[in-house]
Amino acid sequence: MYNFGAVKIIIIGSGLAGIAIAERFMAARCDVTVLSNTAQASSTAISTGMYNPLVFRRLNLSWMIQDLLPEIHSFYGSIEEKLAIPIKEPIEFARRIPSQDYHHLWEKRGREKPLSTYMGPIKDGYGTVKHAGMLDCTLLKVQYERYLRAENRLIDRSFSFDELSFKDGQVCIAEGNFDLVVFCDGPYATQNPYFNWLPFKLCQGEWIIIQTETPLTSRVLNNKVNVIPMGENRYKLSSSYGWETLDWQPQEEAKKDLLRGFEDLFDVPFTIIEHRAALRPTVSDRRPYLGRHPEHRSLAIFNGLGSKGVMLAPYFSKHLASHLLEDTPLMPEVDIKRHLKRFRHANEG
């Protein structure tokens, strides 16, 4: 990218999307500020942070994984170096083989290219998944916000849309005028009057941590839930998908679902240590939302990353920054223009 030092940008939100786009803008030497209430409930703050290259139902590659993986490694690696913290690690990941038909499908797909790059042999009833990993989202968010404070780039407060106004092509808020505002407000985007015409489909995700008397596995196991070893005989069970009750409070039914998934694999006594819930900003077509507002060119959005945010944020933050700074075209699959009819309908009359 070129040097865009004269471009003054404010990012609303310090979750994974906000961190990623902030990094891209700062790499282009933009004048970047992040506005975020760091005490507000955040899906990034409690995200499991796991990524894997496969879609298990039909054993396909996850969308664009061959493009996403290099960006995952280079982007998070650069943040590790910048903040001097370890946030990403490879994991041993295995998918349970539930039937003979699935066993045959796994072996068949595992011989095909490019799937064979990501699939290993079946051992003890589990298929091996290659190139999976885990990002410590909690540590990333806390340490990145600390970095922003140290650089005087963080405004730690809630944002009110009532304070926003436009003047001479700029956006005005309490702290000053900006050339561009990028909303990375996660599930709170449904309350954003400039982008609430986008068809968000919020989902409540939950996980629990249990402790057993004896060790069970050193690998991450996937069946109906993920069983993630955390050390000291503790295991995180993730994650549930709730579409009806949408808040930040754990639900009893979700806990039962997670435990049933665990008990389908292990018949051992355990103690529940912790149970957490968060809202995910998912979308119906499973493609993120990128782009400028149809009328207010100084407003943009980076959202809709859903449960694959760890995988999508590095690649698409770079894609969006290039679009906003250099006017390169967006992929039609992620451009919010794909919902332009909804915007027009919402603004009729």
Helix (H, G, I), strand (E, B) or coil at 82: helix
Are 52 and 346 spatial neighbours (Cβ–Cβ below 8 Å)?
A: no
Note the CATH number of domain 8-46+138-199+285-346: 3.50.50.60
| pLDDT band at 349; cut points 50, 70, 90 | low
Is-above-0.75 flag for pTM? yes
Instruction: Please determine, for residue 4, whether its predicted confidence score (pLDDT) is greater than 50.
Output: yes
* Domain 201-283 CATH assignment equals 3.30.1370.160: no
The values of phi and psi at residue 153, to 5°, are -115, 5
Are 291 and 300 spatial neighbours (Cβ–Cβ below 8 Å)?
A: yes
Query: What's the pLDDT at 1?
Result: 46
Instruction: Please determine, for residue 123, whether its predicted confidence score (pLDDT) is greater than 90.
Output: yes
Q: Which of 33-42, 225-234, 308-317, 338-347 has the lowest mean pLDDT?
A: 338-347
The tokens describing 283, both together, are: 């979308």
Mean pLDDT of the chain: 95
Q: What average pLDDT does this structure show over 97-101? A: 96
What is 20-61 written as a DSSP string? HHHHHHHHTT-EEEEE--TTS--TGGG---EE-SEETTTTEE
Residue spans of the domains in the chain: they are 8-46+138-199+285-346, 50-135, 201-283
The tokens describing 142, both together, are: 């806390």
The values of phi and psi at residue 147, to 5°, are -60, -45
Output 317-323 pairs: Cβ under 8 A, ≥24 positions apart.
317/17, 317/20, 317/21, 317/23, 317/24, 317/75, 318/24, 318/71, 318/75, 319/290, 320/21, 320/24, 320/182, 320/290, 320/291, 321/1, 321/21, 321/24, 321/25, 321/28, 322/1, 323/290, 323/291
Residue 83's Cβ-count burial label (10 Å; 0-12, 13-18, 19+) is: middle
Q: What are the start-end ranges of the H helices in 282-331?
A: 309-326
Task: Encode pLDDT of 40-97 as tens digits.
Answer: 999 999 899 999 999 998 999 999 999 999 999 999 999 999 999 999 999 999 999 9
* DSSP, res 175: T
- Sheet-wide strand order for 289-292: 154-155, 31-35, 8-12, 180-183, 299-303, 289-292
Domains 8-46+138-199+285-346 and 201-283 share a fold: no
Q: What average pLDDT does this structure show over 185-200? A: 94
Q: Which candidate, 131, 91, 95, 124, places its Cα nearest to that of 229?
A: 91
Task: Encode pLDDT of 278-307 as tens digits.
Answer: 998 889 899 999 999 999 999 999 999 988
Residues of the chain with pLDDT > 70, as a percent, come to 99
